[in-house]
Amino acid sequence: MSRVTVLTGAVALGLSAFVARGAEDHAAHQHALEDHSVGQPEDHSAHQHHDSMPAASPPSQAEPTESERQHVPPDPPQLQMHDMSAQDMFELMQMDDTARFGRVLLDQLEWTRSDGRDVLSWETQAWYGGDYDKVWLKADGESIAGNQEGRIELLWDRAFARWWNLQAGVRHDFSGGPSRTWAAFGVQGLAPYWFEVDAAAYVGEGGRTAARFSAEYELLLSQRLILQPQLELEVYGKGDPRNGLGAGLADTRLGLRLRYEIRRELAPYAGVVWSRLYGATADLARAAGHDADDLQFVIGLRAWF
């Protein structure tokens, strides 16, 4: 065999081995690609880490306050408003300025003892009407050992300012002596610093004249306990000896009462009242065997409805 033949066979054998080796590598590479597509997905966590981070949360709202936590919202309206006339609206909301109303006030009903005798006294008012015009009734007096004396006034009341009313009408006095009738004119209202004021002038038969003034104040010691000072005085322009009255300043009364309101409409009270007579009125009282001044402890009841 020649040397050329041997060399040619060796080259052919090497080429065939190289081709076989390349086919095996290609098959292995293809098999790896198929396994990768069928198996688990490729782990991209390294380059996806930034994208997978959670978004920044918005800033939290302020915490509710204690008042907001305790607040209970009201129930929604149960009555649906519908279109209505002005008159229907006034009736529904009670906005009628011409409505009538009234009250009976038993301001004082009290008991005390004076000169060894039981004394029952009273002071009451009643009114009925609208915002501007009312009919007003006032009565006060006392009963001593079955003998009664006092006054009754029937008045027309007209509001002329926010806190003040004009009053005009008739007054009738009754006592152990002759009864007297007067024309009455006055004002009643709330003075500065919440003083309740009642001032009136009277003109009677025979040229008689008189004036009466009272003021009181309510001091709230609590929502139910109320201290009430009161001042009253009377002046007469002409003496009336048959009724124990002299000309000039006739008497003053200063009272201090402490009441407890069981309800606004019902309040028992206790207090002290000092009264004094002056001038000719005091002389007539002494002549009849009475003192010109008196200090009394009283218990009573205040009520209205």
Based on its alpha-carbon atoms, the radius of gyration of the chain, rounded to whole angstroms, reads 52
Query: Quick one: pLDDT at residue 21?
Result: 53
**In the numeric block, which tokens belong to residue 57?**
């949360």
Query: Quick one: pLDDT at residue 134?
Result: 97
Angle at the Cα of 281 (from 278 to 113), degrees rounded to 5?
85
Backbone angles phi, psi at 32, to 5 degrees: -65, -40
Which residues of the chain fall below pLDDT 50?
1-8, 10-12, 15, 18-20, 22-23, 26-57, 59
Cα separation of 214 and 194, whole Å? 14
Termini Cα distance of the chain: 151
Query: Quick one: pLDDT at residue 62?
Result: 73
DSSP secondary structure letters along 224-282: SEEEEEEEEEEEESS-BGGGTB-SEEEEEEEEEEEEE-SBTTEEEEEEEEEEEE-HHHH
- Residue 48 gets the label, from left (phi > 0), alpha (psi -120 to 50) or beta, of alpha
Please give the single-letter amino acid code of residue 92.
Answer: L
* DSSP letter (8 states) at residue 223: S
Helix, strand, or coil (residue 29): helix
Distance of CA 163 to the CA centre of its chain: 19
Query: Quick one: pLDDT at residue 16?
Result: 52
Cα separation of 16 and 305, whole Å? 130
Cα separation of 82 and 92, whole Å? 12
